[in-house]
Structure 1
């Protein structure tokens, strides 16, 4: 085998790139339904299946992100309060970043395992692993330190891209979705809505 053939073979055996991962990870859009003082997420099980995760685990994570209580029964999640599709989109994006995407190679080919009492995220593509920790509720986080407040402007570094194309930034314990912003930018962004420990902003 000559050098060129060997090089081609080596490239063929490399894991897919992170860009390919985004194409492989086809997540259904959340389907919300108002039910009096509650909001239902009717396809949480379908979303969990697409992520290869347990539906109750996803429900619990969304519940914490929204800073509310809820119930999971017969494949349907119900949350106390009124929440929009954008709220659910943001919570799911945050879940994917924390519990699905490998922080080293960016691929979603991961599994959650408990090792020596610690929940670990292991990547089957590159072999990397890291611990994941149960987060405290958004309401208790905000009572300790309001890193983001509705109606204020902040300088944010865009470090990622959400499933809907919005720029994603982190500030304190908040994940901020900035419409129209691109990864790599630093922007002044006006926060127009806060839900749990998720915030929504637009560039000024």
Structure 2
């Protein structure tokens, strides 16, 4: 009897973690056309529901949609015509990669940096996994995959942007290459960078 009573008390002390659906309630994305741009008007609310920094979600939107954009007062403004379904698809991808635990399925996670690797650590079950690849650094602290304005690189164009520009990738950077087609291997000159986006011309 004493054992059963102790077991009952222990079970009562265990919190009810509920289901992943109960824990995560994300508002539907709201898209608003603004000329040649599209606003993600409730980006801040979406990021808050995911318990992530708005800027981090914003940069993921840019990279996934292969476009440039600007974040101002919690609203994302992106170059190109998108609709709510585009943004919702990106939010779903972000949630799977940066929020939901791959072991227990719960969103009770946080992003932590370990040995220059970004890791997703679950506070519900204790699991953790990497969410981005690490890059080696030299003695100056710069990574071998850094992209800097004024430098020339050889890249392979792997995608096509919304405006028809070629899109290449180097490390964590998305590089727009006007005049190049998917599959091309080209030398490019970096004219400018913004966050993890780079804008180039053929060298």
- TM-score normalised by the chain length of structure 1: 0.61
CA distance in 1, matches of 2:3, 2:158: 59
Aligned residue pairs total 137
- The equivalent residue for 1:44 is 43
CA distance in 1, matches of 2:82, 2:30: 11
Q: How does 1:145-156 map to 2 (within 5 A)?
A: none
Task: Judge conservation of contact 1:39–1:80 (CA < 8 Å) in 2.
Answer: yes
Could you give the per-residue CA deviations for residues 51-77 of structure 1, whole angstroms, max 9, x where no partner exists?
Answer: 110000001111111121111112110
In the alignment, does 2:35 pair up with 1:13?
Answer: no
Which structure 2 segments of 5+ residues have no match? 134-156, 161-203
- 1:3 is displaced (CA, Å) by 3.5
- The equivalent residue for 2:55 is 56
In the alignment, does 2:145 pair up with 1:131?
Answer: no
CA distance in 2, matches of 1:35, 1:25: 30
Q: 1:85 to 1:123 in 2, by over 3 A?
A: same
Task: Judge conservation of contact 1:15–1:125 (CA < 8 Å) in 2.
Answer: no
Could you give the per-residue CA deviations for residues 122-152 of structure 1, whole angstroms, max 9, x where no partner exists?
Answer: 0001111111117xxxxx5446xxxxxxxxx
- The equivalent residue for 2:115 is 116
- 1:85 is displaced (CA, Å) by 0.6
- The equivalent residue for 1:156 is none
Q: How does 1:169-188 map to 2 (within 5 A)?
A: none
CA distance in 1, matches of 2:158, 2:13: 46
- 1:99 is displaced (CA, Å) by 0.2
Task: Judge conservation of contact 2:23–2:106 (CA < 8 Å) in 1.
Answer: no
CA distance in 2, matches of 1:97, 1:110: 11
Larger Rg: 2
Could you give the per-residue CA deviations for residues 29-88 of structure 1, whole angstroms, max 9, x where no partner exists?
Answer: 111110000000011111111111000000111111112111111211011110111111
Q: 1:22 to 1:43 in 2, by over 3 A?
A: same
- 1:15 is displaced (CA, Å) by 6.0
SS in 2 for 1:40: strand
- TM-score normalised by the chain length of structure 2: 0.61
Which structure 1 segments of 5+ residues have no match? 135-139, 144-204
- The equivalent residue for 1:27 is 26
SS in 2 for 1:47: helix
SS in 1 for 2:38: strand
CA distance in 1, matches of 2:70, 2:34: 13
SS in 2 for 1:2: helix
CA distance in 1, matches of 2:125, 2:12: 14
* RMSD (Å), alpha carbons: 2.3
